[in-house]
Amino acid sequence: MIISVVSGKGGAGKTTLAASIAQVFSTEFYDLDVDAPNAEYFLQPDFSEKTPITQPVPVFSEELCDGCGICTKECRFHALYRIMKTVYLSEPLCHGCGLCKMVCPQQAISYHDAPVGDIRSGYSQRTSNMVHVGDLTIGSTRGTYLISEMVKRIDSDKLSVIDGPPGNSCAAVAAIKPADLVVLVVEPTPFGFHDMQQTEQIVQQMGKNYLIIANKAMSTNNVDQYFQDKAKKATLTIPLENRYHKANLQGEILSQQFSEIHIGLHTAISRELEKL
């Protein structure tokens, strides 16, 4: 069973709540916010393993390539283009599928492994379970590939929590795709609600079960007002309180420090898991 915690925008408290959910249910944890992973700040795992992740990319032989352009026409991701008689690779668009090598009549294409990032794994005393963190190589645009490789390592027979990247990019969709339950965290502000709607549409189109948590609410009135004509209501509203803010700054897990958050998350998520 996989729970993906996502948000339409950064700063909504997605990682804070993902860490709390992992602590409440003592789950394995996958930090898929690979551009800027920071869940370890709360979970404090003892990392014992580091796995390099690479992706195959094509290399063209200047001696064999005659610039026929067949590979550029067949590339479904438009990663190859031709200028005069020379074929060039736009590496950020390449998915390493191998099709260009298959269709090349001159056998001028080989593959080499390009570094994508690393996966660090270790045990967290705070959740009594394993934590896996994805670190994207600086300058790399292959975050979605790294996320996909991490998702392959998730044991669906275990209860696991994914901390997905914020926003509605391909990387965010890749973190939602394996989920049995999506926890959508919204910051109850005009911008927060706007961005949440986009993420909610993606979740609905993917046919995922989901619940909404309104986090850092200055009052319940604006939350109730926003959701009054919505089919899906906020399951849980967490107020904006100074004591929560201080605990975050100190690297504490909110559910471990505050019983009301522990009970609220346990009740809300258990209810949804029972439906699955």
CB-based burial, 103-123: b 16+ in 10 Å, e otherwise: ebeeebbeeeebebbbbbbbe
141, pLDDT greater than 90:
no
Task: Give the pairing of strands 46-60 and 109-124.
Answer: antiparallel
Same domain, 41 and 148: yes
pLDDT at 222: 81
Same domain, 144 and 10: yes
Q: Which two tokens stand for residue 3?
A: 């729970």
Same domain, 85 and 166: no
This prediction's pTM? 0.90
What's the domain range around 88?
A: 62-107
> Number of structural domains, the chain?
2
pLDDT confidence band for 71 (50 / 70 / 90): very high
Q: Which two tokens stand for residue 48?
A: 């014992």
Same domain, 226 and 95: no
Domain-embedded: residue 112: no
Same domain, 101 and 124: no
Same domain, 144 and 187: yes
For 92-120, what is the mean pLDDT? Answer: 93
Same domain, 72 and 148: no
